[in-house]
């Protein structure tokens, strides 16, 4: 791979992009080594096109901020300003080598030997496929990229930004009770944290959904700003490049946009806008798109889901649609012409199952986000028996399940003991720095993934974890009408025992019988 295939402005833009990455890396390093409170005054900005001159000016501004916020980095900032002044006159090769020298000196993220690790097999002829295989090699070999490899990855990112299409294998979500583990950790980030963290280690993607979602909302209420928002689609493409078929990649889409406030007037535009977005995600190999069911009555939710799913282009066997039901938002059940207001969390959750099944979506998400941020953990908003009942009822109706909002380390086992398929985990609670004053996010903390997965695995090995996984399998087989009368009796007995959290007496002997059953 060579920068010679780019024109001069494009190549200089690519080099400036490497400088921005280096500055971000130094800022992250400084924040992580600081003992003071993390502070961030500005939210993540919306991407805007920039001329070469504007991009150079942005680099200058970022260097000024870096030096002002982290005095120990003044020498680094000055050395980068010297490089920036050379940009208009220096050759492309000189500038690239200079930036790589700086990256090696200050971050140590470049391999010393410039060996050629790129594949050129005819079996993988395209640039994006080659780079995806390269990233996989780096991950498995646990090594730093060489200069040439780092350039190739950055060029692949630029190619995606310029419309290059991904044609990589993707991994679908597992069937309940039949995956590597029952409860997958949906490691959540807007994208950059996945590129620099989640996707860099093989063991960080085992039993994990790599979920891309914009989490930052500051201290804003849910009426003003959604708890979670759609990420930048380029970030989703980059994450897919880095993950390929190693783990399922999922994405949040958002809540429907009813501009007039009149459901049927806005339905056409809302359905076509969101179906186009979901289709674009699925065409990139995303395994699941999640849509929030906000600001609608029960009958409207059903109609919206039916219209939306029929306008999305996807492989419905391996690419799922998930409906997010907020447990803290009262829901008007008008299905029979009435107007019953449902406010109890468990009742909202149970009603959500009925609506998702009627609407034809594949997965129900119970979200506990409210106006406070960070959110109160959803596992503290429901009792064990309530959470288990939601998962159990959804599984036996043939729906996948998911809990989100406020998860911290102690709440992971509580979710595992319900047999839920996925847990939304990320953001300020556990994987990002956050300024408590502004609510804005800072660097990703990838080292916490190991702890998250260790806690999950330990809980999964416990009697309650094994019982929950077994119940999920039996419930799913029930939904497929694969159980005989005796197995149905065992399923009911196991559910009651798990609800009481007293499973030892019924667990023995059940595991071997259940594992003999197949989908």
392-425, pLDDT tens digit by residue? 999 999 999 999 988 999 999 999 999 999 999 9
pLDDT of 471 above 60: yes
Residue 512: other Cβ atoms inside 10 A: 8
CB 291 within 8 A of CB 323: yes
pLDDT of 184 above 80: yes
Question: Which pLDDT belongs to residue 281?
Answer: 97
Question: Which pLDDT belongs to residue 133?
Answer: 94
Q: Across residues 457-468, what is the average pLDDT?
A: 97
Rg of the chain on CA atoms, in Å: 24
Identify the three-state secondary structure at position 481. coil
Greatest Cα pair distance in the chain: 80
pLDDT of 6 above 90: no
CB 226 within 8 A of CB 292: yes
Question: Which pLDDT belongs to residue 42?
Answer: 75
- The residue ranking higher by pLDDT, 100 or 44, is 100
The DSSP secondary-structure symbol of 121 reads: -
Question: Which pLDDT belongs to residue 449?
Answer: 95
Q: Across residues 158-173, what is the average pLDDT?
A: 93
CB 447 within 8 A of CB 381: no
Q: What are phi and psi of 250, to 5 degrees?
A: -125, 160
CB 246 within 8 A of CB 209: no
> Could you report the per-residue pLDDT of 329-387, keeping only the tens digit for each?
999 999 988 899 999 999 999 999 999 999 999 999 999 887 666 668 899 999 999 99
Spatial distance between the Cα atoms of 384 and 40, rounded to a whole number of angstroms: 37
Question: Which pLDDT belongs to residue 442?
Answer: 78
Question: Which pLDDT belongs to residue 365?
Answer: 97
Question: Which pLDDT belongs to residue 137?
Answer: 95
Query: In whole angstroms, how far apart are CA 349 and each of 131, 398, 494?
Result: 43, 16, 22
> Could you report the per-residue pLDDT of 252-287, keeping only the tens digit for each?
999 898 888 889 999 999 999 999 999 999 999 999
Q: Find where tokens 């288990």 sit.
A: 388
C-alpha dihedral sign at 299, 303, 308, 309:
positive
Report the phi/psi class of residue 457: left, alpha or beta, with left for phi > 0 and alpha for psi in -120 to 50: alpha
Q: Across residues 213-238, what is the average pLDDT?
A: 77
The DSSP secondary-structure symbol of 199 reads: G
Spatial distance between the Cα atoms of 421 and 83, rounded to a whole number of angstroms: 50
Spatial distance between the Cα atoms of 364 and 176, rounded to a whole number of angstroms: 13
Residue 113: other Cβ atoms inside 10 A: 6
Question: Which pLDDT belongs to residue 220?
Answer: 65
With 0-12 CB in 10 A as exposed, 13-18 as middle and 19+ as buried, what is 78?
exposed
pLDDT above 90 as % of the chain = 68
Spatial distance between the Cα atoms of 156 and 127, rounded to a whole number of angstroms: 7
Q: Across residues 440-469, what is the average pLDDT?
A: 93
Q: Find where tokens 């909202």 sit.
A: 348
Spatial distance between the Cα atoms of 296 and 22, rounded to a whole number of angstroms: 45
Q: Find where tokens 């186009």 sit.
A: 276
404-433 in b/e form (b: 16+ CB < 10 A) is bbbbeeebbbbbbbbbbbbbbbbbbbbbbb
CB 47 within 8 A of CB 232: yes
Spatial distance between the Cα atoms of 190 and 173, rounded to a whole number of angstroms: 20
- The residue ranking higher by pLDDT, 120 or 495, is 495
pTM, 2 dp: 0.91
> Could you report the per-residue pLDDT of 296-321, keeping only the tens digit for each?
999 999 999 999 999 999 999 999 99
DSSP assignment string, 381-404: TS-HHHHHHHHHHHHTTT-EEEEE
């Amino acid at each position: 791979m060579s920068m010679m295939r780019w024109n001069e402005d494009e190549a200089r833009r690519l080099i400036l992009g490497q400088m921005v990455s280096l500055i971000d890396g130094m800022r992250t390093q400084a924040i992580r080594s600081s003992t003071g409170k993390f502070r961030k005054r500005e939210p993540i900005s919306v991407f805007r096109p920039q001329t070469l001159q504007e991009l150079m000016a942005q680099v200058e501004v970022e260097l000024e901020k870096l030096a002002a916020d982290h005095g120990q980095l003044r020498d680094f900032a000055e050395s980068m300003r010297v490089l920036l002044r050379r940009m208009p006159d220096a050759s492309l090769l000189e500038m690239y080598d200079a930036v790589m020298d700086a990256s090696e000196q200050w971050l140590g993220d470049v391999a010393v030997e410039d060996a050629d690790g790129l594949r050129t097999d005819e079996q993988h002829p395209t640039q994006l496929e080659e780079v995806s295989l390269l990233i996989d090699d780096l991950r498995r070999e646990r090594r730093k990229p060489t200069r040439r490899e780092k350039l190739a990855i950055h060029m692949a990112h630029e190619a995606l930004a310029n419309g290059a299409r991904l044609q990589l294998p993707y991994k679908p979500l597992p069937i309940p009770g039949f995956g590597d583990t029952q409860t997958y950790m949906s490691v959540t980030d807007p994208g950059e944290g996945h590129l620099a963290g989640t996707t860099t280690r093989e063991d960080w993607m085992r039993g994990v959904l790599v979920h891309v979602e914009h989490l930052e909302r500051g201290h804003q209420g849910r009426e003003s700003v959604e708890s979670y928002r759609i990420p930048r689609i380029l970030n989703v493409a980059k994450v897919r490049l880095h993950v390929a078929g190693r783990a399922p990649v999922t994405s949040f889409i958002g809540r429907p946009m009813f501009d007039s406030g009149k459901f049927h007037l806005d339905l056409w535009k809302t359905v076509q806008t969101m179906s186009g977005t979901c289709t674009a995600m699925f065409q990139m190999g995303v395994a699941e798109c999640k849509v929030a069911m906000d600001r609608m009555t029960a009958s409207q939710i059903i109609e919206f889901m039916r219209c939306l799913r029929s306008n999305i282009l996807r492989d419905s066997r391996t690419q799922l649609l998930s409906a997010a039901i907020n447990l803290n938002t009262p829901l008007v059940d008008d299905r029979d012409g009435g107007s019953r207001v449902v406010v109890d969390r468990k009742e909202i959750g149970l009603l959500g199952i009925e609506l998702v099944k009627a609407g034809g979506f594949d997965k129900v998400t119970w979200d506990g986000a409210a106006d406070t941020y960070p959110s109160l953990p959803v596992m503290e908003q429901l009792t064990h028996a309530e959470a288990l009942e939601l998962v159990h009822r959804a599984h036996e109706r043939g729906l996948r399940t998911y809990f989100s909002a406020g998860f911290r380390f102690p709440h992971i086992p509580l979710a595992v003991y319900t047999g839920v398929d996925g847990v939304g985990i990320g953001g300020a609670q556990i994987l990002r720095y956050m300024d408590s004053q502004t609510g804005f996010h800072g660097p990703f903390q990838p080292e916490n993934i190991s702890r998250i997965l260790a806690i999950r695995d330990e809980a999964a090995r416990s009697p309650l974890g094994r019982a929950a996984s077994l119940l999920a399998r039996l419930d799913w087989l029930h939904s497929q009408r694969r159980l005989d009368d005796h197995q149905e009796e065992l399923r009911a007995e196991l559910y009651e025992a798990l609800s009481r959290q007293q499973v030892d007496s019924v667990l023995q002997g059940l595991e071997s019988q259940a594992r003999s059953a197949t989908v």
